[in-house]
Amino acid sequence: MVEHGDVRVVHKGGSKINFREPALSIDSRFLLCASGECVKVFSTSTEECLHELQGHTDLVTGVLLRPSNHLQAYSCSLDGTVRLWDFTDGIPIRTYVIGYPIHGIYASAKHEGVIFIITPMHTDTNSELFQLVAVHLPQSGEQLVEARELSAVLSNVSSNPAATAFGREGQYIVSAKPLELEVYFFKKQKSYSFYLKKDNQKGGKNTFTCITCHPTEDCIASGHEDGKIRLWRNFNHKKEYTYSTLHWHHSAVSSLRFTPEGTNLLSGGVESVLVQWRYNQESQRDFLPRLGGAITHISVSPDGALFCTSHSDNKITIIQSCVKVSAVIQGLVKGDGIRTDLMIDPRSKALVLNGKPGHLQFYSLQRDKLLFNLDIVQQEYIHESGLQQFEVVMAAFDAGGSWLATVEERKQKDAELELSLKLWAFDDRRQSFVLNTTISAPHEAQITALCFPHVSDGQTTMLVSTSRDGHFKAWQLAAPAHTEADKGLSWSCDFVGAYHSLVPERCCFSADSSLLAVSFQEVVTVWTPASWELLTTLSQPPGAIRDLCFGRLSCSKYLLAATTSKLLCCWNLLTCSLEWVTSMDVSLLRADPLSENMAAFCFEAGSTDLFVFKPCEPRPLFSHKALCSGRVTHAVFAPREVMLESCDESSQWLNSSQLFFLSPSMDLLTFITKAEEDRLMASNKQLVVSDDVAMTPFHLLLGKHQKQQQDNPQQESSQSVEPIPQPSSSAGINELLQMPAHVLPSASFLCSMFVQSLLISVKDPSASEQNKEEEEMESEKEEEDSDGEMESRISRPEHMPSGGQESVCAAPTLTKEEARKLRRLKKLDHSWMKGLLDK
């Protein structure tokens, strides 16, 4: 057993961004949202995460702009601290230690130097009672400040931050308990309570769910369990208070917000429709439907230009003036449960799992960003609880990524199981999967496993599915016999296999696809797909087979099986004999496609351990005790784009692939080596460049140059693959030509930059002919440089590689002839180049 300190488990993206209401900066350019233990700052226009404000040691439970300084933000956390940040630069300013877990934070411009937090009433117990506490923040220049001046304002409030709100100009604070509305006036130090009956006659539930106050008038809007919105007025009277009722939502209203001027009221709920009510003209309302998952929070930017809605599918939608969705910040969708396995799309190298109901999500692990959703079910999802709708339960990619098989099912209470198997072909033209074949009712019972053979030439023609009905079926891609050939290929059933009417659980193809292993409870049967003969059976009773896996590369003769009787068996298929057996409770077995390594997740004493080993030698290469509590049921090896060159034995297994797994609490975790971590830190620092500087062509030219002069030319280009808006070269030229001469830098300097910006990669075949002239003029060295540029095209402009540096040296070598050609080029229309560059 070897354990090494330099490989550690880290969170790799996918944390919740919809936990609390996000805050929008005053100029609507930044969005701050609590995400796990850090606060993420997103750009509202590019959807990119600019900074992660790290420092809290527990779940962040609230983010709030500081009312007295709109460039600073407070964040509060269960770790009992409130932190003040400069979010534009990502700098922590101050930490206030409160000492109690904080569940929510409020502040108002009228209460200078005071914040209001929600803390449990009894610190020692996990009580359900919470109180609203005013905290006087001490004035101090120190980094770490203890705030001990606390005074309780309201007791017995809800821990839900949406159930408390400040009223007009901070004059009063409103808190909703399940059936009571309490208004506390600061000036009079008096509170009024208004009660609702538990149920009205029609069975509507009157429980408060959320609350908000009108910014300029004395009006409180409250959302209720039955979908009603009540507008309370005259609440400074014990008896003569009054409310009016608005009703559009059919189930609980989860968020309410007034626009900054108070002209509109926004509401959202399970229906995933943003409803905009005209204040005082409530019969007029606007809808923005089909936003995705249920709306959990709504926030409005202080200038009213942007709304943003958080959704239950871990998404933040940014909406411009209630008509247009301008940006979507999508985290990893973690719905009610991951039914499919984790997979890697061989083409996009994206992590694939089911996300939105009826969809597969493609999630880029490098960029921590959702690439796209593939609609599998292709049916309208009805946002209502209790409905049984089609779900994607299984999916599989073939080795080349040209076929995708999916299984969807729906089980209604008294109806039969509805199953369908869909096969999707990758369409090169559309760069997406296109439905090729739908097989309804492929099996009579639930499908337990799907498997494509590993074919090296990329022409997959077979799929094997196993089902609880006791059969496994092989599906063949072939032209339908009775139709014309031009109809195209489709999938049909080729073979149905069974073994002693036992239920098949797992299936697996060997590395060269010459063998298919299907596990029937405690028996492993080995078949040849060529003739569908049963070659042999392997069995190691007692205990049914839980997972089955062939070795890879040099170990492809080994077949590994994990059984429920806490055994991990390894058979040698050449001798058909048991090679070795060890006793461990393996819940999941994964093979690295690029090496012989296998990962086994073992459940031991309430937590999961990981062992990495090669089948040929029963000795773990790496082991990690207690990865996380509970059983790990989803894991995948993701091939690296660039091989790591780690020589350390314990981290060698991470060289070709990275292992990702989902913890039972649905966190996506991975392993990282020390060296990699250091490298990432370094590149992260580099990334902290001001996004504020406007992207003018002049900046692109000049800024790039300055950067390159500062940067070490030897430095490797960053691994980041974010696409940048490529500046249109012709536009840049126009800009240059129109600029007054006296503000331009020296012509020799500009010229080289200019030529550089016009260069086209030699690797681009379509462009090569047209650019022959230029190419001839470039030296061999410059050709290499343009290679470098092609690589860097997918990186940020600030990190232009060494190419520019070289061309500075080349600049004085420009002859007159070249200059003339350059001038001629200037007159040409270069817009076609932009198209090429973008491609």
Partner 1 sequence: MGEFMVHRVRFFDYMPSAIRAMAFNAGTQRLAVARADGAVEIFNFADNYFQEKVIPGRSGRAVEALCWVGGRLFSAGLNGEITEYDLEKLRPRYSVEAYGGPIWTISCNNQGTLLAVGCEDGTVKMFEILEERIQFQRNLDRQKGRIISLSWHPSGARIAAGMIDMIRIFDAKTGHATHRLLVERGLGTTRNTEVVVWSVAFLSDDTIISGDSAGKVQIWDAATGTLIRNHLITKWDVLALSVSQDQSSVIAGTSEGTVVQFQALASTMGQENSQWVRTRTFKNHSHDVRALVHTDTAVVSGGMDTQLVVRPLLDKVEKNTRESAMRKILFPHRNLVCCAKKAGLLLFQFPDHLELWRLGESNMQGQPGDILPVMKKPEKLLQLQNKGDDHICCSAVSPCGGWVAFSTVSSVRLYKLQLSNGNISINKVSKLPKELHSVYQLCFSSDSSRLFASSAQASVVVASLDQLQCRHLHTLKPKSGSSQPIHLLSPSENGKWLAAANTDGQIHVFNLHKLKLHCTLPVYSSCPTAIAIHPTTGHLLSAHADQQIFEFSLKLKEYTAWSRSLQREGLHPLWLQRDTPITHITFNANKPAHVFLHDLFMFCIIDQSLPLPQARKKLYNQMDLKTRSPQERMQESHAFKICKMFQHLLSVDLLDNSSLVVVERPLADIVSQLPPPVRQKKFAT
Contacts with partner 1 by CB under 8 A lie at: 168, 216-219, 233-234, 236-237, 239-245, 250, 280-284
Q: How far is the CB of 209 from partner 1 (least distance, A)?
A: 19
Beta carbon nearer to partner 1, 111 or 214:
214
Of the CA atoms within 13 Å of residue 800, those in its CB half-sphere come to 25
Q: How far is the CB of 219 from partner 1 (least distance, A)?
A: 8
Beta carbon nearer to partner 1, 46 or 236:
236
Give yes or no for a contact between 554 and 569, defined as CB atoms under 8 angstroms apart: no
Q: How far is the CB of 242 from partner 1 (least distance, A)?
A: 5
* Beta strands 462-467; 164-166: pairing state: unpaired
Give yes or no for a contact between 552 and 511, defined as CB atoms under 8 angstroms apart: yes
Q: How far is the CB of 234 from partner 1 (least distance, A)?
A: 6
Beta carbon nearer to partner 1, 201 or 531:
201
Q: How far is the CB of 300 from partner 1 (least distance, A)?
A: 20
Beta carbon nearer to partner 1, 233 or 826:
233
Q: How far is the CB of 26 from partner 1 (least distance, A)?
A: 24
Q: How far is the CB of 484 from partner 1 (least distance, A)?
A: 49
CA distance linking residue 550 with residue 569, whole number of Å: 12
Beta carbon nearer to partner 1, 3 or 384:
384
How distant, in Å, are the alpha carbons of 366, 643, 658, 660 from that of 640? 10, 6, 6, 12
Beta carbon nearer to partner 1, 219 or 586:
219
CA distance linking residue 83 with residue 137, whole number of Å: 11
Q: What is the 3-state secondary structure (H, E, C) of 393-449?
A: EEEEECCCCCEEEEEEEECCCCCCCEEEEEEEEEECCCCEEEEEEEEECCCCCCEEE
Q: How far is the CB of 233 from partner 1 (least distance, A)?
A: 5
Beta carbon nearer to partner 1, 243 or 433:
243
> 């089955």: which residue's tokens?
548
Peptide bond preceding 542 in cis form (omega within 30 of 0): yes
Beta carbon nearer to partner 1, 168 or 631:
168
Beta carbon nearer to partner 1, 287 or 532:
287
CA distance linking residue 364 with residue 794, whole number of Å: 15
Beta carbon nearer to partner 1, 229 or 598:
229
* Beta strands 351-354; 343-344: pairing state: antiparallel
Q: How far is the CB of 507 from partner 1 (least distance, A)?
A: 45
Q: What is the 3-state secondary structure (H, E, C) of 253-307?
A: EEEEEECCCCCEEEEEECCCCEEEEECCEEEEEEEECCCCCCEEEEEECCCCCEE
How is residue 778 written in tokens?
Answer: 């470039």
CA distance linking residue 538 with residue 342, whole number of Å: 28
Q: How far is the CB of 153 from partner 1 (least distance, A)?
A: 20
Beta carbon nearer to partner 1, 151 or 283:
283
Q: How far is the CB of 296 from partner 1 (least distance, A)?
A: 23
CA distance linking residue 823 with residue 214, whole number of Å: 62
Of the CA atoms within 13 Å of residue 143, those in its CB half-sphere come to 3
| Number of neighbours of residue 721 by Cβ within 10 angstroms | 11
CA distance linking residue 384 with residue 531, whole number of Å: 49
* Beta strands 91-97; 144-146: pairing state: parallel
How distant, in Å, are the alpha carbons of 61, 64, 115, 258 from that of 74? 11, 5, 9, 22
